[in-house]
Structure 1
């Protein structure tokens, strides 16, 4: 039996082709993808294409588009065995992270991919990314999906979506998962590392929780920064601070007073690291103790993209009983190392 994969094309470089009269890139009609890539017909799965009415640059992808993708997957969940989302590369980690929190009880593969060069380019990485992603999106054993989470496939590597970040705007190998091992790798053989795969062991039926709040602010701390500027911004529900190393910041009493004032106004403060690898460890250095004193929340080894979208999903979400801090601190779908 051939598995059915629904391909959702949102936009991005992968769906571009060069206009040889002007020399510029333009989106092509993705409904004609089988003409562009006749090798797709050789796949051991049936592919059905649903393009966005207007392809979007990934910089225009946000909460509303995340909801559109999530609900389209929900609408078609029972009709398809897997889902492939083609997406621009710049914000793909945000979308993958957001979907991982929104798609509850997921038991089927949701793979995101894109490319650094257009699909019509002679040196493109688009074809390999697309074809191998289809393989992973249709991979079943004993009538059960092998991958049951949101993942990104890029340049021979399958990665957990909410663990990824884009670290290169130039190289084909553009994505990394610094704090979690790869889920699979393609070479002569297409491999899966099953012990790294996420499983939702609950008996929750698949559904979409599309609660997203935009009342989040992300701020990177830097040497010499005037924290007094914080007092000039409106009150927000969550402030995510990207701090030094394993969780350090300026040790002055003024720093503590400023952050405490923000907390007293009802803002949750989440702390993530500026380091690509590793995570937050309150108490490791004296200059991190300030966060324990003011009741800040450790982002542990989450990526910035994951921390932001997780906070957006949890803020005032009526489907979560208990405190924001309790839910943020535990792993919901493999985004934190336990």
Structure 2
């Protein structure tokens, strides 16, 4: 009796990887997903059962919103028992947000969900799309002793497999558009795919997938900059129905110590708004105990986002508030990693401090 073939479901949401150039205007336009398979005949040589579902119409990644994430979760949940792994083709601009959101919304995930895309359309001569797609499918199908090698939400881009909620887009033009600067790559791809099993979230006892469909968008990102005015901060912190703020600060979590600024933060916290401190730097961690300005933020009731990306912090707030948790409950859960979105060593260091 022949072994059952490994099956992978490709979900095409939109984005550059599935676009062609209009010969008259030169503009990139989405085309039917069937063309993607026509342009990558190598897929037939992988030996997997590959099926596809596409968003109709395809969505440019700048248009992606929580409704799109809910749609993706529903597709994965509905097909979870049928396929061994999933590949999500997605535009690059918001891919890190989608990967972060899915990591929270797919509780008990025990199969690979690999997001990928490209900087050039797959039909173009120098495209990076073919290699990204083929390798993402191989990773989604990879098993060891009958178990998936990478049972988590990841982004694969230009030779790096990265945990989805640790990843950010770093370039608008280069093929190495994404990096996970605070957590090492889960796999590096050259002639072979070399996994680092010590870094991958392994599933010890598989549980039924628990999909979540509730997200609350009453959150905002507030980026500190020299010369920020009281009017700017006041207008943001007093947005009607606001529940959560990701505060992008300098360095290790520092911000101005002006009385008006700290007073506004304290007042917002007193109203039940959860404010999470993340660094504007590409890499590194918030350590509010290190310098005086950071200390004052902690005293004002701001909580640390440790080495979370902005994408992970904002989608985690949406996820937690979406499930009706109180401000205190959200604070408690923001202080603990749900799916490896920040390094626990930073948590231990700050508890000791």
**Inter-partner Cα distance in structure 1 for 2:267 and 2:204:** 41
- Residues 65 and 316 (structure 1), Cα distance of their counterparts in 2 relative to 1, 3 Å cut: closer
- 1:131 is paired with a residue whose SS is helix
- Residues 129 and 117 (structure 1), Cα distance of their counterparts in 2 relative to 1, 3 Å cut: same
Which of 106, 121, 124 lines up with 2:124 in the alignment? 121
**Inter-partner Cα distance in structure 2 for 1:316 and 1:119:** 37
Residues 94-119 of structure 1, C-alpha deviations (whole Å, 9 max, x = no match): 00000000001000000000000001
The answer for the alignment partner of 2:25 in structure 1 is 22
Correspondence list, 1:242-281, <5 A: 242-281=248-287
The answer for the alignment partner of 1:283 in structure 2 is 289
**Inter-partner Cα distance in structure 1 for 2:179 and 2:138:** 21
- Residues 74 and 316 (structure 1), Cα distance of their counterparts in 2 relative to 1, 3 Å cut: closer
Correspondence list, 1:168-183, <5 A: 168-183=171-186
Which of 110, 114, 117 lines up with 2:113 in the alignment? 110
Residues 113-141 of structure 1, C-alpha deviations (whole Å, 9 max, x = no match): 00000011110000000000000010011
* 8 Å Cα contact 2:215-2:319 kept in structure 1: yes
1:63 aligns with 2:69: no
- 1:50 is paired with a residue whose SS is strand
Across the aligned residues of Structure 1 and Structure 2, the Cα RMSD in angstroms comes to 1.6
The answer for the alignment partner of 2:43 in structure 1 is 40
**Inter-partner Cα distance in structure 2 for 1:186 and 1:281:** 34
The answer for the alignment partner of 1:154 in structure 2 is 157
**Inter-partner Cα distance in structure 2 for 1:42 and 1:117:** 23
**Inter-partner Cα distance in structure 2 for 1:256 and 1:187:** 50
TM-score under structure 1 length normalisation: 0.96
- Residues 203 and 117 (structure 1), Cα distance of their counterparts in 2 relative to 1, 3 Å cut: closer
Instruction: After the TM superposition, list the runs of 4 or more consecutive aligned residues in structure 1 that deviate by more than 4 angstroms.
Output: 200-203, 318-322
* 8 Å Cα contact 1:105-1:202 kept in structure 2: no
Which of 304, 329, 337 lines up with 2:310 in the alignment? 304
Structure 1: gaps spanning 5 or more residues: none
The answer for the alignment partner of 1:337 in structure 2 is 343
- 2:198 is paired with a residue whose SS is helix
The answer for the alignment partner of 1:95 in structure 2 is 98
**Inter-partner Cα distance in structure 2 for 1:154 and 1:175:** 7
* 8 Å Cα contact 1:215-1:238 kept in structure 2: yes
- 1:197 is paired with a residue whose SS is coil
* 8 Å Cα contact 2:215-2:322 kept in structure 1: no
Residues 256-303 of structure 1, C-alpha deviations (whole Å, 9 max, x = no match): 212111112221111110011101101100111112212211000000
Residues 71-92 of structure 1, C-alpha deviations (whole Å, 9 max, x = no match): 1100000000000000000000
**Inter-partner Cα distance in structure 2 for 1:318 and 1:202:** 28
Query: How far 1:318 sits from its partner (Å)?
Result: 4.3
- Residues 123 and 149 (structure 1), Cα distance of their counterparts in 2 relative to 1, 3 Å cut: same
**Inter-partner Cα distance in structure 1 for 2:326 and 2:333:** 8
Q: Pick which of 114-123 and 231-240 moved more.
A: 231-240
The answer for the alignment partner of 1:234 in structure 2 is 239
Query: How far 1:201 sits from its partner (Å)?
Result: 4.5
- 1:272 is paired with a residue whose SS is strand
* 8 Å Cα contact 2:119-2:129 kept in structure 1: yes
**Inter-partner Cα distance in structure 2 for 1:261 and 1:148:** 42
Residues 149-198 of structure 1, C-alpha deviations (whole Å, 9 max, x = no match): 00000001100000000000010000000000000011111111111101
- 1:261 is paired with a residue whose SS is helix
